[in-house]
Amino acid sequence: MASRPEEESVVQIAPLDIAKDLDELRAVIQSSFQTVADDFGITRENAPTNPAFITRQNLLDSIQSGLQFFCASESGRIIGCIAIQNSGGNSLFYLERVAVVPELRHRGVGAQLVDYALRKVAEAGGCRVSIGIINENRRIKEWYTSLGFLESSIKKFDHLPFTVCFMERGINI
């Protein structure tokens, strides 16, 4: 299981209710990823697919392609999310769109979301999870390392203004 910071928030985590929560989820993803976009000079022009610029249609397309979203809520308000997707019929799953609203970070919500996703992956028969992050984002890289993820590769994509670090971990649940 993931380690947690000293001050932990207890939140409710549940699958996305598309009809009710799609727009609120979009706003959470945008606000969460915007801080990273600002820190690393990511713009709509140099990385249009970055989650900071996600649209309602992007979300619907992601869900249609098999991305399963789970939302963390506190007092009836979505404060974070995580998504999982099977890599294509094998035991590897991808974690995506891990987000916590900026004002509620460092309370353990992200670790709770990762724990929840790991349980869902295990229930689906998965053995490993992988995530791609901005390699230059040392803070998030250290955080994932603290959750048991190990760097598996680093790649430079011509269409992105940063390098991508792929990290993996086994499911030990």
pLDDT digits (tens, 9 = 90+) for 20-29: 999 999 999 9
- Does the pLDDT at position 6 exceed 50? no
How many residues are present in the chain? Answer: 173
Regarding the domain delimited by 12-130, which CATH topology (the fold level of the hierarchy) does it fall under?
Aminopeptidase (3.40.630)
Q: What is the pLDDT of residue 87?
A: 86
- Does the pLDDT at position 8 exceed 60? no
- Does the pLDDT at position 12 exceed 50? yes
Are the CB atoms for 78 and 50 separated by under 8 Å?
no
β-strands 128-134, 92-100 pairing: parallel
How do residues 111-160 score in pLDDT, each as one tens digit?
Answer: 999 999 999 999 999 999 999 999 999 999 999 999 999 999 999 998 88
- % of the chain surpassing 70 pLDDT: 94
pTM of the model: 0.90
Alpha helices in the chain (DSSP H): 18-40, 56-64, 109-123, 138-146
The domain spans of the chain are 12-130
- Does the pLDDT at position 41 exceed 90? yes
Are the CB atoms for 168 and 127 separated by under 8 Å?
no
Cβ neighbours around 125 below 10 Å, total: 11
Measured over all CA atoms, what is the biggest interatomic distance in the chain, rounded to whole angstroms? 42
Residue with tokens 């609120």: 24
